Structure 1
Amino acid sequence: MTSTSITAAMPTRAGANPALLSLLAGALAIALAPILVRVSELEPVATAFYRLVIALPFFWLGMFTERRAHRMTASAPVSTADAALMVLAGLMLAGDLALWHLSITMTSVAKATLFNNCAPVFVALLGWLLFRERIRLGLVVALAVSLSGMALLIGDGLFLAAGAHQDEQWRGDAIAVSTAAFYAVYLMAVKRLRATHSTSVIMAGSSAAATLALAVAAWIEGGPMLPATAWGWGVVLALGVVCHVIGQGLITHALAHLPVTFSSIGLLVQPVAAAALAWILFGEALGPLQWLGGTLALVGITLARRVSSR
C-alpha cells in the first residue's frame, strides 16, 4: 500500500541515497503483504483486522511522541468536522484493506496488487467528477495508458480462464479495482485533514475508525477470530509490524527527503516484487498479454502520479 501523505523536499547530495534506499526497503516490505494474506490462517477480512489492530498502538505512540516533542507548540484541536472526516477516511481504509485481502484470495497476487495501486487514476477521475478539477493533457494520456493496461489484464483473465475459476478470477479482478477507488477517497480525505493536522494524528484517528469497522466486518464474515498456531500469529504480526508499520514508515520518511517524482520508484517496485514472490512461492507465472497489460498500467499510473504532483 502508498503512504498517507507526501511532503516532498529536494534532497541534499549526501542524503539522497539513504532516502532512496529507505523508499525501496519500504516498498519491498509492503510487497510481502499479499503473500502473507495468502498464507494466513484467518479469513481475508479478519486478517485485515489484525493488520490494523497490531499497527494501531504504533500509530498512537507516534502521535503521543510527536505531541510531547512539540509540547511548546499549540496543536490544532480536532473539530467535529475533522473527526467526521477521519471516520470517513477510516471507513475507506477499512474497505480498501478488506476488499484487497479478499481479492488476493480470488485472483493472482500480481493483478490484485497492481489494481490496488491504481488509486492515482481514481483520484484524478473523482477530482474531475466531484470537484470539476481540470484534467491536463498529460493526465489524459496517463489515464488512457493505465486504463488500457487494466483492460488487457482483466480481458486476459476472461479469455484464458475457464468455468468456475473464470468467474471467480473475474470477480477478484473487479474487487481489486474497486479497492483503488476506496483508497482514492481515503487519500482525498487525508489531503483535506493535512491542512490542519499532522500525519501521525490522521493515521491514529483514521486507523482507529478502520479497526472498529474491520472488527464488525470480520464478525459478519464468520470464521475463526484468533489464529490457531504460532505460525498463524507470526503471519499477522509480520503483516502488522513489517508491512504496515515499518513499510509505510520507511516510505513516509523517504518521501520527506526526496522529490515527488522519486515516489514512482516505490510504485514500480511493490507490484513487481509481489509478482516475483508469487511466481516463486505459488507458481503464478504471467503470460505475455499480462506482462503487456501490467507494464502499460504501471507506466500510466506512474505518469498520473508525476503529472498530479506537479
Structure 2
Amino acid sequence: MAETAVQASPTRGDERLGFILVTLSALFWSFGGAIARFVEAGDSWTVVFWRSVWAAAFLIGFMVWRDGVRGTLALFRDMGLPGVAVGVCFAIASTSFVVALAYTTVANVVLMQAGVPLLAALMGWIIFRERVSLPTWFAIAAVIAGVAIMVSESFTGDVSPIGDGLALLIAVAFSSATVMTRRFAHVRMTPATCLGTLIAAVFAATQVSTVLVSGIDMAWLFAFGALNLGLGLALFATGARLIPAAFAALLGTLETVLGPVWVWLIHGETPSARTVLGGTVIFAALLVHIALEFRRQAQPRKPGVTGMPAPR
C-alpha cells in the first residue's frame, strides 16, 4: 500500500457535497427495477454480463474524460490494496445478488440489504472508532422496520441457508466497501468500482449460456449498466468518502423507497399498501435525519475545533 491509511478531514462544504452525491447515486440505482422490466433476455447471467461490461466501459470513459489516459492508469496504480478490496466487495455484492435470487425470495434479499446502514455503523465504530449518534441509530432502526413492513407480505416461510447466506453476504460486502471508502478517503475509489464491474463481468462470462441479445435489449442493457450501475457507482464512490459510513449507507436506502415508485409510474405496477406504508416510514426517517444533519452543520463550530466533524 503506497500510502498510510488516514482519516479524511472534510469541511462542511465537502460533507454537503458528499450528501448530494450519495443521494444522487441512490436515485440512479433506484431505476434498476424499472429498466430491468424492459429487458427480455432469458438468462440472468447474460444480463449481469452486459450490465457489468457497460458499467465498466462507462467508468473507464468517465475517468479518461476527467483525468486523461495517463491519469486513469495512475488512478488504477495508486488505489492500492484498499481499492482492490473495495472492488472485490462490489463484485461479490453484485454477483451474490443474482445467485441469491435463485435460492430465496426478493423479500429476504431486500430485508438483508436494509441492514447495510447498521452493519456499516458497527464496522466503523468497532474497527475505526467512528462514533454514531443516537439519532442515527434511531434512523437505522426505522429504516430496517420500514423495509420489514414493505416485504412482510412476501415471506413464504421457506428458509434457504444458501440463499439467505448470500443475501447476508451482499449486506456485509456493501457495508465493508462503504466503510473502506470512508476510511481511505485519500484513495480515489472510482477505479475500484470499475475493477468490481470487470470482476463481475468475467465471472458472469463463465456462467452465461449466451451473450447474444436483441438490439432493443442491448439498448436497455446499456442504460442498465452505464447509467444505472456505472454512474451510480461513480457518484457513490466520490461522495461516500466525504461523509460517515453509517450516513452514506443510510442515504443509500432511498433506492429501496424510490424503486417501487418508478416501476409503478412507468409500468403501472401498483405498489401494495404495505409497500407504501413501509416506504413512508423509511422516507420520513431519512427526511428527519437529513434535516437534523443540516441543522447540525449550520451551527458554528466551537473555537479551536478542527479536523473531523462532530460525532454523529
TM superposition score normalised by structure 1: 0.65
Rounded to whole Å, the distance in 2 between the matches of 1:124 and 1:144 is: 12
Deviation at 1:124, TM superposition (A): 0.4
Residues 243-298 of structure 1 show CA distances to partners (whole Å, capped at 9, x for unaligned) of 13445557788999xxxxx989975764343202333527353233x433333344
* Whole-angstrom distance in 1 between the partners of 2:50 and 2:212: 10
Q: Is the 8 A contact 2:51 2:221 kept in 1?
A: yes
What does residue 238 of structure 1 align with?
Answer: 223
Corresponding residue number in structure 1 for 2:93: 96
Q: Secondary structure at the match of 1:54?
A: helix
Alpha-carbon contact 1:146-1:299 (below 8 Å) kept:
no
- Partner residue in 2 for 1:123: 120
Structure 2 residue 18 is the aligned partner of structure 1 residue 33:
no
Unaligned runs of 5+ in 1: 257-261
Matched with 1:191 is 182
Aligned to 1:215: 202
- Aligned-residue CA RMSD in angstroms? 4.9
1:275 to 235, 244, 260: 260
Deviates more, 1:172-181 or 1:290-299: 172-181
**How much has 1:65 moved relative to structure 2?**
4.0
Unaligned runs of 5+ in 2: 1-7, 242-246, 294-309
TM-fit CA distance, 1:122: 2.0
2:286 aligned with 1:287 = no
Q: Give the % identical residues.
A: 18
Distance, in Å, in 2 between the alignment partners of 1:175 and 1:149 is: 22
- CA-to-partner distance for each residue in 1:130-167, whole Å, 9 max, x for gaps? 44544432233223323333443454333xx5xxxx63
Structural mapping, 1:1-310, within 5 Å: 10=13, 28-40=27-39, 41=41, 43-68=43-68, 78=77, 82-101=79-98, 107=105, 116=113, 119-158=116-155, 161=156, 167=158, 178-195=169-186, 197-198=187-188, 202-219=189-206, 221-224=207-210, 226-247=211-232, 270-279=255-264, 281=267, 283=269, 285-288=271-274, 290-300=275-285, 310=312
Q: Which moved more, 1:226-235 or 1:111-120?
A: 111-120
Deviation readout 1:155-190 (Å, 9 max, x if unpaired): 4333xx5xxxx6389997885565333211111222
Aligned partners of 2:59 and 2:234 also within 8 Å: no
Measured after TM superposition, the shift of residue 115 of structure 1 is 6.0
- TM-score of the two chains, using structure 2 as the length reference: 0.64
Per the TM alignment, residue 237 of structure 1 is displaced from its structure 2 partner at its CA by 0.8
> Which moves more between the two structures, 168-177 or 143-152?
168-177
Distance in structure 1 (CA, Å) of the matches to 2:280 and 2:81: 38
Contact 2:121–2:132 (8 Å) recurs in 1: yes
SS in 2 for 1:271: helix
Cα shift readout 1:225-257 (whole Å, capped 9, x = no counterpart): x1331122122111122213445557788999x
Query: Distance between the aligned counterparts of 1:277 and 1:172, measured in 2?
Result: 27
Aligned-partner Cα distance in 2 for 1:213–1:153 = 29
- Whole-angstrom distance in 1 between the partners of 2:159 and 2:38: 19
State the secondary structure of the residue aligned to 1:283. Answer: coil
Paired amino acid for 1:120: P
Change in CA separation of 1:218 and 1:9 when aligned onto 2, cut-off 3 Å: farther
Tell me if the contact between 1:144 and 1:300 (Cα under 8 Å) persists in the aligned partners: no
Whole-angstrom distance in 2 between the partners of 1:116 and 1:274: 14
Which letter does structure 2 place at the counterpart of 1:152?
I
Following superposition, the deviation at residue 204 of structure 1 comes to 1.9
Preserved contact between residue 157 and residue 170 of structure 1 (Cα < 8 Å): no
Counterpart of 1:259? Answer: none
Residues 150, 294 of structure 1: 8 Å contact kept: yes
